[in-house]
Amino acid sequence: MFHIWLVQIVILLSTAYFAPIQYYSKLVQDKQVVIERHEHYNKQSYRNRCTIYSANGLLDLAVPVVKSKEPKILITEVEIAYDTLWQKLHFKAIESAYRRSPFYGYYIDDLGVFFNSRHRYLYDFNMQIMRTVCRLAKIPFRATESQDYTKPGEGIIDLRNSIHPKIDRQETDPGFIPPRYTQVFTNKWGFKPNLSILDLLFNMGPETKDRL
């Protein structure tokens, strides 16, 4: 368990698969960020899915996980399932969506490794993705991981279940204003806010950190 000194503000996040821009906006703030590793797995959340902008509009990509025999399972014990070719499908979807973006060629080699190698646990997989994205976007990685389950309290901004595809960000995180920028299919479908960090990275490249 971490300690709060002098009412230090702590932002508490869940793990996430190519998390949305809202999530990464917390990593550039001058606050302590803690990734929760002692929670139970929450289905249909960003823990194993992300949203990209395809030629046909928004597209959700979900990492399949091994079904547990227990009703609840710790996030660090959730295993990735490989009985389908989800890695190939995700990569093809990302390539189709962003190959015409300005910075796709700059970053795809670094990101492509996540679709060519097998990781056993979802949590470890997501943490490696986050570190890689932060390196590419020149975001100093200062986030720490919880030592045990963190209960909400004074000085804690708990966003573990607030940054969620089914929850209105304006109600749970009113301070976050999604950055506007040119997207590949803006002329076709209009601007789509708060997509996966992949959308911002491929479209804005070195400006990613400043846009956050």
**Three-class SS state of 57:** strand
22 contacts 168 by C-beta, under 8 angstroms: no
Band of residue 4 on the pLDDT scale cut at 50, 70, 90: very low
Dist CA 179 CA 199 (whole Å): 12
168 touches 158 (CB < 8 A) = no
Q: Are 34 and 158 in contact (CB under 8 A)?
A: no
Task: Identify whether the C-beta of residue 207 lies closer than 8 Å to the C-beta of residue 136.
Answer: no
Judge whether residue 7 has pLDDT over 70: no
CA distance 130 to 44: 19
pLDDT in tens, 165-195: 999 887 788 889 999 999 999 999 999 999 9
pLDDT of residue 5: 46
Return the axis-axis angle of helices 86-98 and 197-204, rounded to nearest 10°.
Answer: 40
Percent of the chain with pLDDT over 70: 97
Note the pLDDT tens digit of each residue in 48-86: 999 999 999 999 999 999 998 888 999 999 999 999 999
- CA-based nearest residue to 21, from 146, 157, 203, 158: 203
pTM of the predicted protein model: 0.94
Domain ranges of the chain: 10-211
| Separation CA 210–CA 179 (nearest Å) | 10
Instruction: Give residue 6's pLDDT band: very low, low, confident or very high (50, 70, 90).
Output: low
Task: Look at residues 200, 137, 212 and name the one whose alpha carbon lies nearest to residue 176.
Answer: 212
CB-count burial class (<10 Å; 0-12, 13-18, 19+) for 31: middle
CA distance 96 to 87: 14
Summarize the confidence of residues 94-100 as an average pLDDT.
98
**Per-residue pLDDT tens digits for 108-151:** 999 999 999 999 999 999 999 999 999 999 999 999 999 999 88
